[in-house]
Amino acid sequence: MARWWSGGKLFSRGDRRSRMLTLALVLLLVALLAPPINLPRPTYDYVLVFDITQSMNVADYDLDGAPISRLDYARQAARTAMRELPCGSRIGWGAFAEYRTLLLLAPIEVCANYNDLLASLDQIDGRMRWGNASEINKGLFWAMRAAKEVGHDTQIAFLSDGQEAPPLNSVGLTLFDDLKRGELHGWIVGVGGTVAQPIPKIDRDGKPAGFWRAEDVVQGNRDSANAGAERNQEHLSGLREAHLKAMAEQVGFEYARLTDVASLGKALFDARFAVRHATPTDLSWLPASIALLILVFTFRPDLRPRRKRKVVTINKSGYAA
């Protein structure tokens, strides 16, 4: 009896809404089933080399109002930078003392190993020091050798205050034969304040033992760099920016100064030093977002209010729902 109008012309399959819903369904299935795609993404491969010589114990930074040593501040900057590194980036540690940079940890992926990297970073301090000299220029060359041996276009960030001990007499050293200027990319990051401060003396057990006095350290020859001073002040330490800049120029690195904890990150994430690694990337959000747009469009309410009217929907068998 109620079926008298059911022979009406139907557009059940081909109509617009069905097409939209079909499209949404297909997109959702694509999002569901498509595997992650390898996309080249900008990532960074760095070995952070920390100067762990005694001058890095000078507490001329402050963090949250408390004085903090140069080394601790540099590590804090490294933690901050790690948080911002895009996944797929790799980071490793090195330490510099005496005349050598020793690779402590080969670079590994930063997101998967975040907590372990932090735990490892916490261990880098002056107690590791294997010698009391501080031949930074050689240390930088050794860091370059290590990065070269690691391969994968590994770059260096060398964090130091630039205080050579014993002081260099000439302008600098010649680059090792097996290294070429510009062969590696990297940064020299100047750590420390500009005002020269006494250097805390730390004994082998890591306990403070006063400060280094003028007669304790090799003062070196008077040279042009110290021409203005009455005598050399090698027992005092401030950031030797000129020396660090000259070294950066020599090996083809960039120079930046660690002024706040964010400045290391800013330097490291230089687009010029990005490596494009193919990283498995889950792109399912893309078809899923389009599917959502389609669904929202399909079920959008009427924009213009119309006369109030009772509305029923009617199925094929002719019943009102």
Residue list 39-98, contact with another protein (CB under 8 A): 92-93, 95, 98
Judged by beta carbon, residue 117 or residue 168, the one nearer another protein is: 117
CB 241 within 8 A of CB 162: yes
Nearer of residues 208 and 318 to another protein, judged by Cβ: 318
Residue 301 lies near another protein (rule: CB under 8 A)? yes
Question: Which among 54-62, 215-223, 272-280, 284-292 is the span making contact with another protein, rule CB under 8 A?
Answer: 284-292
Which region, left, alpha or beta, applies to residue 247 given φ > 0 means left and ψ of -120 to 50 means alpha? alpha
| Residues 189-248 interacting with another protein (rule: CB under 8 A) | 204
**CA–CA separation, 146 vs 107, rounded Å?**
11
Paired with 39 in beta bridges are 279
User: Toward another protein, which CB reaches closer, 28 or 267?
Assistant: 28
Task: Mark the segment that binds another protein (CB under 8 A) among 16-24, 36-44, 159-167, 171-179.
Answer: 16-24
CB of 298 to another protein, least distance (A): 8
Q: Single out the residue of 11, 65, 203, 271 in contact with another protein (rule: CB under 8 A).
A: 11
Q: Does 128 bind another protein (CB under 8 A)?
A: yes
Find all residues with CB under 8 Å of 186, minimum gap 6, and list them: 46, 144, 147, 155, 156, 157, 158, 251, 253, 254, 273
Query: Looking only at residues 145 through 164 of this chain, which bind another protein when binding is defined by CB under 8 A?
Result: 145-146, 149-150
Tokens (6 digits) for 148: 């070269």
Q: Whole-angstrom Cα distance, residue 104 to residue 137?
A: 19
- H or E element at residue 288: helix 285-298
Of 28-36, 211-219, 237-245, 272-280, the window that binds another protein (rule: CB under 8 A) is 28-36
> 84 vs 270, which CB is nearer to another protein?
84
Residue span binding another protein (CB under 8 A) among the ranges 214-222, 237-245, 248-256, 313-321: 313-321
* Residue number with CB closer to another protein (213 or 299): 299
User: Which of 228, 301 has the CB closer to another protein?
Assistant: 301
Tell me whether strands 155-160 and 186-190 are parallel, antiparallel or unpaired: parallel
Check residue 306 for interaction with another protein (CB under 8 A).
Answer: yes
103 lies in the site for another protein, by CB under 8 A: yes
Q: Are strands 45-51 and 90-97 parallel, antiparallel or unpaired?
A: parallel
Q: Which amino acid is at 230?
A: E
Residue range at the interface with another protein (CB under 8 A); choices 23-31, 68-76, 171-179, 208-216: 23-31
CA–CA distance, 235 with 199 (Å, rounded to integer)? 7
Residue 169 touching another protein (CB under 8 A):
no
Q: Based on CB atoms, which residue is closest to another protein, 120 or 281? A: 120
DSSP at 8: S
Radius of gyration of the chain from its Cα atoms, rounded to whole angstroms: 32
125 vs 123: CA distance, rounded Å: 6
- CB nearer another protein, residue 93 or residue 253: 93
Contact status, residue 82 vs residue 119, Cβ threshold 8 Å = no
Q: What are the φ and ψ backbone dihedral angles of 266, each rounded to 5 degrees?
A: -60, -40
Q: Which residues contact 276 (CB under 8 A, 6 or more apart)?
A: 40, 41, 42, 43
For another protein, which stretch binds (CB under 8 A), given 73-81, 217-225, 241-249, 280-288?
Answer: 280-288
The yes or no reply on residue 176 touching another protein (CB under 8 A) is no
